[in-house]
Amino acid sequence: MLSDDTRQAGARTAAGGTTDDCGTEADCGSRADSNITRDCNSTARCGRSADHRSDPLVAALTEIDRFLGAEGWGLPARLFALVPTADLLAAEPSLVGQLSAGSPDSLSSVEQEDFHGGDHLEQTLSAIAWPPTVQGVAVSVERVFLPDDEEASIPEDPDRAAEYVAGHPRRQDLRVVSGAMRDGSHFSVARVLGHPDELLGAANLVPSLEAALLSTLDDSGTDDLPGPDDAQPDHSGMEPQ
C-alpha cells in the first residue's frame, strides 16, 4: 500500500507527458564537478519523432522533470520507481481520481523518500535491486558545468575543479532526469537553469548514469543487495530490495 508520505511525480500518470518542448541540440559543456557532466554527450538531440513522443519512458521522465521544476533548484538526487499506471490503480483504487491510465503501457513514478545519493551517485545505485513489480527506474541529479571554451582553465584535481566550476561567473546549472526499463531501453532529459523553456533529451545523453540505472534492474546476482541505506519500504512491492 502507498504510505501517506509517498509522493507521486506530478500526482498523475506520466502518460500525458511529451517532449514537444525539447530543444534540438544540447552542448553539455566542459568538465564539471562530477562524472555526470563529464560523461554527457556533446550533442543531444531531443526525441521529436512520434516514437519518442509516445514512448512511456520519455513521457515519465518529462513528467518527473515538470514535477521537480515546480520545487525549484538546489535539490538533492531523487530516486523514482516506474510502475505501470494500470497496476498502480489496481493496487490503490483510491488513486483513480488522481491518475489516468492513458495508454495501456503508461507509467507512473513513485518517489523513494529515503534515498540518499551520496557523493558517488553511480556507486550508490550499484547497491540497489528492484522487485519484479517495478518495471523501470529514474533518478534526477543537478550539476554545474562551464562552456567548452573554459575547458583549459579547469584544474585537473577533482576537488579543485569542483570548487573552480562552482564559483565561476560563467557556471551553468543543469538538471538531468535519467531512466531505464527492464527491456533495456534508457533515456535522459536535461534542463539548463539559464534556458528554462528548453528540455533536451536523448538516449545515451548520460551513458554512465543510464548504465547504472540499467544495472539496478538486472536480476542476476542481486538477491543479497540492500536498498538505499537499508531503508524500510515506503511502498509495498515497489521499493528497492
How far apart, in Å, are the Cα atoms of 79 and each of 24, 75, 199, 216?
27, 12, 20, 12
- Mark residue 50 as left, alpha or beta (left: phi above 0; alpha: psi -120 to 50; beta: remaining): alpha
N- to C-terminal Cα separation, the chain: 16
Per-residue pLDDT of the chain (241 residues; tens, 9 = 90+): 333 333 344 333 333 333 334 333 344 444 444 444 445 543 343 433 333 445 999 999 999 999 999 999 999 999 999 999 888 888 887 777 677 666 778 899 999 999 999 988 999 999 999 999 899 999 999 988 888 888 888 888 888 888 888 888 888 889 999 999 999 999 999 999 888 899 999 999 999 999 999 999 987 544 433 333 333 333 445 556 5
**Domains of the chain by residue range:** 12-219
91 grid coordinates: 493496487
What single DSSP character describes residue 157? Answer: S
pTM listed for this prediction: 0.72
Backbone angles phi, psi at 137, to 5 degrees: -145, 150
